[in-house]
Every structure is written in C-alpha cells, then in structure tokens.
Amino acid sequence: MPCQIDQKPRLALIEDDPIMGESLTHLLSLEGFDVSWYKSGKEARDALRAHRFCVAVCDIRLPDIEGGDLFLALAAERSDLPPFLFLTAYGTIDRAVELIKAGAADYLTKPFEVEALLHRVRELAESYGIVHEQTDDTLGISPAMQRIAEQLPRLARHAEALLITGESGCGKEYVARRFHHHAVGSEGAFVAVNCAAIPESLIEAELFGYEKGAFTGATRTKKGLFERADGGTLFLDEIGEMPLAMQAKLLRVLQDHRFTRLGGEKPLTSRFRLVCATHRDLKAMVEAGTFREDLYYRIHVIHLRIPPLRERPEDIRWFLRRFIAEFNQQHPDVRKRIDPRAEAALLAYSWPGNIRELKHAVERACILALGPTLTIDAFFDNAGNAPESAEVGATISASLAEYLMACERDYLLRALEQNQGHITRTAAALGITRKTLWEKLKKLECSQEKQNGYPTAT
C-alpha cells in the first residue's frame, strides 16, 4: 500500500557509516520523512519484508550483504518494492548501472550534493504513490497551469461564461470541472455534452428536451441539457462544431434564460454557468462566416488557453508519475515503476495527443510490462515507434541503443539550455550530481563548444 496523506512518508535508510547515517537521518527527517535507519543489510531486509516504505536510500557497500544483492533478493520476492536510490562510490558505478537495468530507481555518486539527494527522494516518493491533499485541485506543476489554477477561484466567483481553448486532450474538460467545483461545488450539476458527437438533427432535442409525442419516437417527456443544468454548469465541448441555426437558438437562451421543450408550450427558466471549449480558432470562424459573431462575443467574456503538453514539459513527468501511481493504487499487487531511460525518452516525445495520449500510453505500458519496471519497450512498439505510432521528436536510429542515447543527449542539452548552461542548477533539476552530469555529457559526446551560449551535441 502506498503512503497515506495522514502520516509522514516512511523512508528506509540503509547505511552502515555512523556519521553519514546520522546526518542523512537528521536531514531527511527535517524534510518531513519518517526515517528508519538500518545499519546492516540483514536488518534492512527484515524491515522491508515486514513494513511499507515509500523510498529506500541504500548504500551499495554494506558490512554483511552487498546493497545490490539485497535489492535483487527483495525484488525477486515482491512486486511492490519501494523505489531504491543507491549511494555509490566512483568504483561501484558500474554496479549501480546494472541495478538500474534490473529495476532500481536511480543512484547518486559520493560525494553528492544535498539538494540533489532531496530532490530525487521527493520525486521517488511521489512516484510511488504519495497523494498530496491538493492533488485533486492540481492542474499541473508548470507555471502556465499554476497561473490558471490560481485564476479559477476568482473567475468562479464572478464569471457567468468561460471559454476554454486548446488542442484535443490537453485537459479542457478537467479545467471546466475545476471551475464548476469552485463556482457551485456539489450543490449544482455539471452537465457536459460534446457538440461534435451529436448529429445535427438531434442536437436541438438534446439541448431543449421534448414533450411526449413531439415527434415520432418521442414516447416520453425528456428534460434537455438546459433544464438539467439549472443551478449548475453547462459544459459545451467543441462549441465550434455547433450548426449555425443552433447557435442562434443557443444565444437566445443565454440572453433570456428561457426556453421551451420541443412540442411544448410552457416556457421554462434555467440559470446556469456556461463553459464552452474548442480546439478551433473561433475568431477565424467568425471571419469565415461559420460561427456567429454575436455568440462569439457572448461566450468570449473570459478566455483561458490551455497550452499543449509539449509547451509545458514539467507536466509530462508529473502526469506520468501520477498515472503510474493511480495504476498502482488500483493494482497494489503489481506495482510499477518507470525506468529512468524510458522516462527520458518520453520527455523527449512531442505528445500530439496531449494528456489523453500520455494516460493511454501509461495504461498500455503498465498492462504489457512483464515485470515491475516500465522499460522503453513497454511504451514503444517493435518498430521503435512512439505511443499511438506518432513520430518521436528525436530521430529513430538504426538501433534502440542509439535512439535512447539520442533521446538522453537531447534531454540533457534542453535541460542545460533551460538553466542557462549552469551545471550545478542543471544537475539539481535532473536529480543527479555535477559529476554524473559531466560524465553523461562526455559519454554522449556533447561538446563544450558554445552555440547561443549553451553546450551543443557534436
């Protein structure tokens, strides 16, 4: 079972050095972890068999059992082993790499930077399934989505209409539901309809409802979406697909808050918040005569644009780990963790299907992966193609190894660029040490010749 939000996340520290162990225990405790310190491999093995931990920080060299052997033995016994972060000296880096391939989460070389350790431990704890209290309210951790999250409560207090634009699958309906939650909470209904999914001949009946006998097949009276949304929120997804004739009728309802069911004579009243969403350019449609200008200005009072996932890479990792955590909560007997090399490849992918594509890719990988570790093979098919057979941002090389190296090289250089070439900040952002970053740059043949001020690949 994952750690619960009503208790401190439990962390197993496996370190025989008394000075290092005491220092890390104090440091990690200050960060909010419930640290259990074990000075031998046998002691740690018994504890990990008996108790649940969110992370295990383990030295490779232990007095009785080699740290790697401890991990491999436990991994063979159970699928819900917490992520292992190994602490290794330079001479045992090869062993650490072997353990990563076997399913360990990551390693740090001694001496390591404190911030790098804390950053990586926090990430691993979250990936294992710590669910923070604000998770349901979180739209993402990128600055763009944080700004939208901050705006929604204020908009919900005052706005009667909201227009959300963005590519398909980027989270428009989720933002609409958060707006509804802030506006009316559980007291009103959230009524959603995809205008592109309803045939033109039926959309009026769906919106207005109808009386029994109004037309052939109307064997009973049915409330329409306007009526059902009274006191709540009506979400019209893909509003750009609504026929022009229906747009005029919608505008009248928005102005008067009155309508009549098909076949009925009694006017009905409904007051609701309206949220419209579309992936199309409504302004261009107005100019082309395919969308009513008066309706456009009626629904365009407040406009939120949801950036595609490729414009907010911080959210790719966040959603990736959130979806894995959700799978692990639903299937605690087959807990999954992602291989860092697979994560790097997924971060380099452009995700044209946005969050929806990412979620389907994670579900597919969790189902197809034979072991607890989600490797690159679980996400990519035998031809080396990315999820949904879309093209990966990096060029697919002749071999999978070459492709993975290209992904890692591209990711490291992008990280350097985002941190203005500052090695220490880049290493901290990646959760590795400066030494590890330099080693990776050298291994991946990233020259230190400057182009636009940043290192470039040779």
| Mean pLDDT of the 38-45 span | 94
| Mean pLDDT of the 350-362 span | 91
| Mean pLDDT of the 10-17 span | 93
Inside any domain, residue 243: yes
Residues 327 and 419 in one domain: yes
Out of 197-211, 276-290, 303-317, the most confident range is 276-290
For residue 6, is pLDDT > 90? no
Q: How confident is the model at residue 16 (pLDDT cuts 50, 70, 90)?
A: very high
Inside any domain, residue 2: no
What is the 3 state secondary structure string of the chain?
CCCCCCCCCEEEEECCCHHHHHHHHHHHHHCCCEEEEECCHHHHHHHHHHCCCCEEEEECCCCCCCHHHHHHHHHHHCCCCCCEEEEECHHHHHHHHHHHHCCCCEEEECCCCHHHHHHHHHHHHHHHCCCCCCHHHCCCCCHHHHHHHHHHHHHHHHCCEEEEECCCCCCHHHHHHHHHHHHHCCCCCEEEEECCCCCHHHHHHHHHEECCCCCCCCCCCEECHHHHCCCCEEEEECHHHCCHHHHHHHHHHHHHCEECCECCCCCEECCCEEEEEECCCHHHHHHHCCCCHHHHHHHCCCEEECCCHHHCHHHHHHHHHHHHHHHHHHCHHHCCEECHHHHHHHHHCCCCCHHHHHHHHHHHHHHHCCCCEECHHHHCCCCCCCHHHCCCCCCCCCCHHHHHHHHHHHHHHHHHHHCCCCHHHHHHHHCCCHHHHHHHHHHCCEEEEEECCEEEEC
Say what percent of the chain tops pLDDT 70. Answer: 84
d(CA 336, CA 266): 58
CATH number of the CATH domain containing 339: 1.10.8.60
Torsion angle, CA of 377/379/381/386, rounded to 10 degrees?
Answer: -130
Round the average pLDDT of the chain to a whole number and report it.
Answer: 82
Inside any domain, residue 270: yes
Least confident of 73-82, 92-101, 363-372, 387-396: 387-396
pLDDT for 228-246, tens place per residue?
A: 999 999 999 999 999 999 9
Residues 37 and 148 in one domain: no
Please tell me the predicted confidence (pLDDT) of residue 104: 82
Say what percent of the chain tops pLDDT 90. Answer: 38
Residues 324 and 289 in one domain: no
Please tell me the predicted confidence (pLDDT) of residue 186: 67
Please tell me the predicted confidence (pLDDT) of residue 56: 94
| Mean pLDDT of the 16-29 span | 91
Q: How confident is the model at residue 299 (pLDDT cuts 50, 70, 90)?
A: very high
Angle 134-139-143 (CA atoms, 0-180°, nearest 5)?
105
d(CA 264, CA 215): 11
| Mean pLDDT of the 291-302 span | 94
| Mean pLDDT of the 111-120 span | 84
For residue 405, is pLDDT > 80? no
For residue 398, is pLDDT > 70? no
Inside any domain, residue 104: yes
Residues 293 and 147 in one domain: yes
| Mean pLDDT of the 22-49 span | 91
Inside any domain, residue 271: yes
The contacts of residue 291 (CB under 8 Å, 6+ apart) are 240, 244, 247, 282, 285
Out of 83-92, 118-127, 154-163, 186-195, the most confident range is 154-163
Please tell me the predicted confidence (pLDDT) of residue 381: 58
Q: How confident is the model at residue 428 (pLDDT cuts 50, 70, 90)?
A: confident
Q: Please answer whether residues 144 and 283 qualify as being in contact, where contact means their C-beta atoms are separated by less than 8 angstroms.
A: no
CATH number of the CATH domain containing 246: 3.40.50.300
Residues 254 and 379 in one domain: no
Out of 213-227, 275-289, 321-335, the most confident range is 275-289
Residues 321 and 375 in one domain: yes
Inside any domain, residue 137: no
For residue 439, is pLDDT > 80? no
Least confident of 81-90, 113-122, 419-428: 419-428
Q: Domain count for the chain, please give it.
A: 3
Task: Of 423, 401, 115, 318, give the one whose Cα is nearest residue 415.
Answer: 423
| Mean pLDDT of the 108-120 span | 84
**Of the candidates 260, 277, 305, which is a domain's last residue?**
305
Q: Please answer whether residues 321 and 122 qualify as being in contact, where contact means their C-beta atoms are separated by less than 8 angstroms.
A: no
Please tell me the predicted confidence (pLDDT) of residue 164: 97
Residues 190 and 114 in one domain: no
Residues 293 and 148 in one domain: yes
For residue 375, is pLDDT > 70? yes
CA distances from 298 to 87, 163, 208, 328 (A): 60, 10, 19, 44
Q: Which residue has the higher pLDDT, 189 or 452?
A: 189
> Which residue segment(s) compose the domain that 71 sits in?
10-128
Out of 68-77, 257-266, 445-454, the most confident range is 257-266
Residue whose structure tokens are 């579309």: 278
pTM: 0.58
Residues 232 and 253 in one domain: yes
Angle 417-419-422 (CA atoms, 0-180°, nearest 5)?
100
Please tell me the predicted confidence (pLDDT) of residue 1: 41
For residue 399, is pLDDT > 60? no
Contacts 24+ apart (CB under 8 A), 88-95: 88/59, 88/60, 89/60, 89/61, 92/60, 92/61, 95/60, 95/68
**Of the candidates 271, 305, 339, which is a domain's last residue?**
305
Inside any domain, residue 317: yes
d(CA 432, CA 115): 10
CATH number of the CATH domain containing 63: 3.40.50.2300
Please tell me the predicted confidence (pLDDT) of residue 447: 42
Residues 86 and 149 in one domain: no
Please tell me the predicted confidence (pLDDT) of residue 4: 43
d(CA 44, CA 58): 9
For residue 395, is pLDDT > 60? no
Inside any domain, residue 135: no
**Of the candidates 79, 103, 128, which is a domain's last residue?**
128
Task: Of 275, 282, 283, 351, give the one whose Cα is nearest residue 313.
Answer: 351
Residues 74 and 201 in one domain: no
Residues 364 and 425 in one domain: yes
Please tell me the predicted confidence (pLDDT) of residue 81: 80
Q: How confident is the model at residue 457 (pLDDT cuts 50, 70, 90)?
A: very low
Pairing between β-strand 161-165 and β-strand 106-109 as defined by DSSP bridges: unpaired
